[in-house]
Structure 1
Amino acid sequence: EDWAGISVVALAIGVFAAAQALGGSGFVACFVGGIAFRAPEATRHRLLVGAEGAGDALALMTWVVFGAGVVWQVADRITPSVVAYALLSLTLVRMLPVWLCLSGTPLPAAQKLFIGWFGPRGLASIVFGILIFDADLPGGETVTATAVVTILLSVLAHGITANPLIRALAGGRTPPH
């Protein structure tokens, strides 16, 4: 039972490798593989919980590779306009669409702002940034530098503000872990 999640990891690796070998996008293949993954609810939950540790480990490795390799490859392409756009991405560009999507909900304004501040974000930005960097597209270096700065600022800003904003949203009390 401890190894049940290996099938989910094997599915991801298998579809990624097959798509890459056929000249397609491994990332898109993994996404489609996830959509196509059909198992009875109880089995699916057990498999996904079993794969969670592997997913967390791979995500951490991605962050290490990003920090150690990608950041330094674009450091000389970071300009004031790249930083300005990255700041806009973290605030207006991300938060406004979330606010608009939540406009018809009964959520209080503080919760809408919280959701807009912390999401959507994640590993997808790294993946898409690396894809553009590797594709050698016109302007790709600027796009990659912008993605890198946005991710760096996001890690810093969201890391610093997470606990204080969670406490504020919880009415000053520390939420249970």
Structure 2
Amino acid sequence: AQALGGSGFIAAFCAGLLTGYLFKRETQPLLVTGESCGEALSLLTWVVFGAYVAPKGSQIMAPSVWFYALSSLSLVRMLPVWLSLAGSSLNAESRLFIGWFGPRGLASIVFAILILDTPLQEGGTIIACTIACVLLSVVLHGVSAVPGARRLGRSAR
């Protein structure tokens, strides 16, 4: 699909739908294999991202890049999640937890990869913001994951 100018994401999703339809009940072995492959590719993506970040260090030093990254991890992502859960039975603490630990990291890298070869006027800024956002996510989410989960677990009792 991508070679023809289409979306690889949409093609992969459609392939999954077709596979599910064709194999009906026998999809469990495919899911286990797919999960293992997905995890290995995810780890490889992090290695490649780490190797890519080092030479780009000077591009992410602008305070505006870090301000955007922090805004993206908090308000930009948490507000839509908070609003989308407004009709749910979740309490405020659970909604904040989901907003804080929602989609992050790998998705940002995948979307940034899509624009790497695109000649955009501000492509470097987009990549710098992505790098800063992912680095902040790794640190801030890594530090807050265990305490946040423990606190949420205690409040659920």
> TM-score band (shorter)?
0.7 to 0.9
Taking the aligned partners of 2:18 and 2:138, their CA distance within structure 1 comes to: 32
Taking the aligned partners of 1:30 and 1:147, their CA distance within structure 2 comes to: 24
Any unmatched runs of 5+ in structure 2? none
Q: What TM-score, normalized by structure 2, do the two folds share?
A: 0.88
The alignment partner of 1:161 has SS state of helix
Any unmatched runs of 5+ in structure 1? 1-18, 173-177
Taking the aligned partners of 1:91 and 1:103, their CA distance within structure 2 comes to: 17
The equivalent of 1:75 in structure 2 is 57
The equivalent of 1:101 in structure 2 is 84
Change in 2 beyond 3 A, CA 1:115/1:73? same
Q: What TM-score, normalized by structure 1, do the two folds share?
A: 0.78
- Is residue 169 of structure 1 aligned with residue 148 of structure 2? no
Taking the aligned partners of 2:50 and 2:79, their CA distance within structure 1 comes to: 28
Q: Deviations over 1:8-46 (max 9, x none)?
A: xxxxxxxxxxx3433444344324433443245531223
2:16 aligned partner, one-letter code: G
Relative CO higher for 1 or 2, CA cutoff 8 Å, sep ≥ 6? Answer: 2
The alignment partner of 1:38 has SS state of helix
Q: Deviations over 1:51-92 (max 9, x none)?
A: 2111111110000000112x1343222110010000000000
- Is residue 133 of structure 1 aligned with residue 116 of structure 2? yes
The equivalent of 1:86 in structure 2 is 69
Change in 2 beyond 3 A, CA 1:72/1:135? farther
The equivalent of 1:120 in structure 2 is 103
